[in-house]
């Protein structure tokens, strides 16, 4: 997906007229560019703060040299570059299709035949990479773009020559956890060779065939450990014996799961070469000379076509700071509104997100100036699966804004602007763009879940627009060093901390059972990892079990845990799985402490578990406002405004907006609030006592620094709020 250029973006780079932004990351920005001949290119430009650092410039120069040495129809070619420019840049041929990661996330796993064709073409690309004396070192789904005629391998940013000394430290893990090889995971640089890329390719193909990474999800440390010690999870791949195999007694050469296991062998010597892998996969998928292979499902092909149509419909060239002509003849004001940049001061304001607009009427009579209404934005799921939580946040935020506007001595008026992302990562960027491009929006509350938050954090950070999350909670949200993110709740992993304390207080931590349900992916991994660590540190190691995603029959694993003599039970996963486990435990007569975290505080748990849910204790980052004495005025105001009791997250959203208002009022001068960038810094340094918790943050990364964890228990078929969770034994 492309985004408009920002006012501070350059107009051109190395003869490429810039048309739009394709993305931004830690090292730089990627633009959609057009050459004088009309061809399109993806132009990657290093950020200025890195360009002067010799290590970054050397790495970028190495990327250029590496990419130029690879010649393959399945690798994106370099078309131009200047690693020695003041702002080093690299241009590659533009591929409008989605990445493999995006295609699988949106449309599900690919058919076996598609995976085989994908593997053959990428093996051919890696064969060229290795023939050039290079190791790619970051073969992953996000680095493969899909086109109708085949995939394209991209991003040689961490590739290095096999016979050269790496610039990076020998004990530094390079690559993407979950798709790197065991030798990468253990930073065994001397052992890294072409076989490392084959392991990563095996993981990529496993992801394409199953829809999940072969070593699960979770924290980087957990992924690295499983890569080195665990067998890959290839569940969901049907056996695919090729017809016409010359060696029917050797299933490793004809069945995709067995072939992937060879690629994912822990010992590099046991993996096939790229040439051998390509030859094996060539058996049934040879392409006629001059012909074309239909290798992708229809829905993915349709997605490629839609993306191509969208990206190739070139946007109008937006004026930028560096190329706005001073003597350009303005269009007639009677035909359209004009953006007036009357002076250098106004230009600076526009760059900071507070553009000055002059609206002229059709009769050319200047309108009377009116007081500007600044805004708080809400990006939330207002129409999707989590719309109950999203709407509660929107209502709590709106109540806070309305109460602010009712003050007598307010420094300015505020309004609330919403953007519905439907709770999906696909819709989230457009919703964020709506709020980012509105210069009146000073801060944004949301999004509702981790997937949507992860999809837009980079965009909000690029715009330096403060983003306050009260419901999304994964550790992955703070993995990057975002500058404008403010996490208004403890992480999902932190919600596991009180469970050990609770069990110790109940004298039920002698042998706790810990079940990780991989259906919940990262959420379950974080919950299980923290619980296992805490219990071990407190001298009560858990009896752990892990079940594959989609497991319906929980009976065998529950029976095994009961035979092991567990004295309590912790479930790491979502509400439907918890309900299934609850019924199994109840049928076995197990009534000892049973715990889980806030994903299970869901009506589905009560409906599906019924009486078996009684007694379960659950941790959360939110309160039940009706059960908190200090929130009585809020609850009454909410009922008066909306005719119903506030739902979960309504009070947290109300608090977060009042936190923003506190800092806005303190920093407002002459009726003008602080700029976005300044407000982000102020919020990270702030302290605020709300009705739900005390808010404070780590200034360096915006993570929540308070406690703010609560307990709920199922009683009488409902969730009863117990209050703050214990933090000390």
Q: Where in the sequence numbering do the catalytic residues fall?
A: 138
Q: Output the CA angle 63-68-71, nearest 5 degrees.
A: 130
CA 444 to chain CA centroid, nearest Å = 18
Q: What is the dihedral of CA 517, 523, 525, 528, to 10 degrees?
A: -80
Q: Of 65, 73, 81, which Cα lies nearest the Cα of 33?
A: 81
Distance CA 689, CA 630 (A): 11
DSSP 5: P
The CA–CA distances, whole Å, from 214 to 175, 222, 233 equal 16, 13, 5
Distance CA 78, CA 93 (A): 7
Distance CA 321, CA 7 (A): 6
SS3 assignment, position 278: helix
Distance CA 520, CA 532 (A): 17
Distance CA 342, CA 710 (A): 54
Q: Enumerate the β-bridge partners of residue 153.
A: 75, 144
Helices 194-210 and 256-263, interaxial angle, to 10°?
140
Residue 635 tokens, joined? 């609850």
SS3 assignment, position 228: helix
In 473-558, the DSSP E strands lie at 485-487, 512-517, 543-547
Q: What is the dihedral of CA 163, 167, 172, 178, to 10 degrees?
A: -70
Please state the φ and ψ torsions of residue 489, each to the nearest 5 degrees: -160, 155
Strand order in the sheet with 617-620: 543-547, 512-517, 568-572, 594-596, 617-620, 710-715, 718-724
CB 196 within 8 A of CB 271: no
Q: Of 632, 628, 602, which Cα lies nearest the Cα of 723?
A: 628
**Cβ-Cβ contacts under 8 Å for 65 (sequence gap 6 or more):** none
Residue 134 tokens, joined? 């290079």
Q: Output the CA angle 8-682-417, nearest 5 degrees.
A: 65
Distance CA 503, CA 568 (A): 8
DSSP 716: T
Q: Output the CA angle 263-264-265, nearest 5 degrees.
A: 95
Instruction: Output the DSSP codes for 123-187.
Output: HHHHHHHHHTTEE-----GGGEEEETTEEEE---TT-EETTS--SS-TTS--S-TTTS-HHHHTT
Distance CA 672, CA 526 (A): 43
Distance CA 357, CA 338 (A): 7
Cis, peptide link before residue 447, omega less than 30° from 0: yes
Residue whose token pair is 């078996």: 612
Instruction: Compute the Cα dihedral for 517, 590, 492, 652 and give only its sign.
Output: positive
DSSP 444: E
Q: Enumerate the β-bridge partners of residue 210.
A: none
CB 191 within 8 A of CB 233: no
At 151, which helix (H) or strand (E)?
A: strand 150-153
DSSP 272: P
Label the pairing between strands 694-696 and 28-34: unpaired
């Amino acid at each position: 997906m492309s985004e408009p250029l920002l006012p501070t973006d350059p107009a051109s780079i190395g003869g490429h007229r810039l048309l739009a932004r394709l993305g931004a990351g830690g090292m730089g920005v990627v633009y959609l560019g057009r050459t004088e001949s009309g061809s399109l290119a993806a132009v990657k430009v290093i950020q200025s703060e890195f360009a002067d650092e010799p290590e970054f410039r050397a790495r970028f120069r190495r990327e250029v040299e590496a990419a130029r040495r690879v010649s393959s129809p399945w690798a994106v070619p370099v078309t131009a570059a200047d690693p020695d420019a003041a702002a080093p840049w690299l241009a590659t041929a533009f591929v409008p299709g989605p990445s493999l990661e995006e295609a699988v996330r949106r449309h599900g796993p690919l058919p076996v035949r598609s995976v085989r064709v994908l593997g053959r073409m990428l093996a051919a690309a890696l064969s060229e990479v290795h023939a050039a004396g290079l190791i790619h070192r970051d073969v992953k789904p996000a680095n493969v773009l899909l086109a109708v005629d085949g995939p394209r391998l991209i991003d040689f940013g961490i590739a290095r020559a096999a016979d050269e000394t790496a610039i990076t430290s020998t004990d530094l893990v390079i690559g993407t956890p979950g798709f790197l090889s065991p030798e990468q995971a253990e930073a065994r640089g001397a052992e890294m060779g072409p076989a490392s890329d084959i392991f990563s390719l095996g993981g990529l193909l496993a992801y394409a065939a199953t829809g999940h990474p072969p070593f699960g999800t979770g924290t980087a440390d957990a992924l690295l450990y499983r890569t080195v010690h665990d067998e890959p999870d290839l569940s969901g791949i049907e056996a695919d014996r090729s017809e016409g195999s010359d060696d029917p007694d050797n299933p490793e050469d004809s069945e995709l799961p067995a072939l992937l296991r060879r690629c994912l062998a822990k010992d590099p010597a046991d993996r096939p070469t790229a040439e051998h892998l390509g030859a094996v996969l060539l058996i049934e998928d040879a392409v006629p000379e001059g012909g074309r292979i239909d290798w992708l499902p229809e829905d993915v092909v349709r997605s490629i076509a839609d993306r191509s149509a969208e990206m190739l419909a070139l946007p109008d060239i937006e004026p930028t700071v560096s190329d706005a002509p001073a003597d350009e003849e303005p269009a007639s004001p009677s035909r359209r509104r004009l953006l007036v940049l009357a002076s250098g001061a106004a230009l600076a304001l526009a760059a900071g997100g507070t553009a000055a607009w002059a609206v002229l009427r059709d009769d050319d009579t200047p309108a009377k100036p009116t007081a500007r209404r600044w805004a708080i934005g809400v990006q939330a799921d207002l129409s999707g699966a989590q719309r109950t939580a999203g709407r509660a946040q929107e209502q709590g935020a709106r109540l806070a804004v309305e109460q602010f506007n009712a003050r007598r001595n307010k420094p300015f008026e505020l309004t609330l602007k919403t953007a519905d992302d439907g709770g999906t990562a696909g819709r989230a960027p457009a919703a964020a763009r709506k709020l980012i491009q509105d210069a009146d929006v000073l801060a944004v509350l949301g999004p509702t879940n981790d997937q949507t938050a992860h999809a837009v954090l980079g965009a909000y950070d690029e715009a330096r627009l403060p983003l306050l999350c009260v419901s999304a909670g994964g550790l992955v949200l703070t993995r990057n060093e975002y500058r404008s993110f403010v996490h208004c709740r403890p992480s999902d992993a932190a919600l596991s901390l009180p469970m050990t304390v609770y069990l110790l207080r109940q004298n039920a931590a002698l042998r706790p059972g810990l079940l990780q349900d991989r259906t919940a992916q990262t959420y379950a991994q974080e919950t299980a990892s923290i619980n296992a660590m805490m219990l071990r540190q407190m001298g009560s190691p858990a009896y752990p079990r892990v079940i594959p995603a989609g497991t319906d029959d929980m009976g065998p694993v529950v029976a095994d845990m009961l035979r092991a003599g567990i004295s309590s039970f912790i479930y790491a996963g979502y509400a439907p799985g918890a309900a299934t486990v609850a019924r199994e435990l109840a049928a076995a007569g197990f009534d000892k402490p049973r715990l889980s975290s806030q994903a299970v505080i869901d009506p589905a748990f009560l409906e599906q578990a019924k009486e078996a849910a009684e007694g379960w204790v659950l941790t959360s980052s939110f309160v039940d406002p009706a059960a908190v004495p200090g929130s009585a005025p809020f609850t009454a105001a909410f009922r008066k405004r909306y005719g119903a009791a506030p739902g979960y997250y309504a009070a947290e959203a109300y608090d977060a907006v009042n936190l923003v208002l506190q800092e806005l009022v303190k920093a407002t001068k002459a009726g003008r609030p602080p700029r976005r960038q300044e407000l982000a810094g102020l919020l990270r340094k702030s302290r605020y006592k709300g009705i739900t918790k005390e808010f404070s943050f780590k200034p360096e990364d915006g993570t929540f620094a308070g406690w703010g964890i609560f307990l709920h228990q199922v009683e009488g078929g409902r969730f009863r709020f117990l209050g703050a969770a214990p933090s000390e034994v």
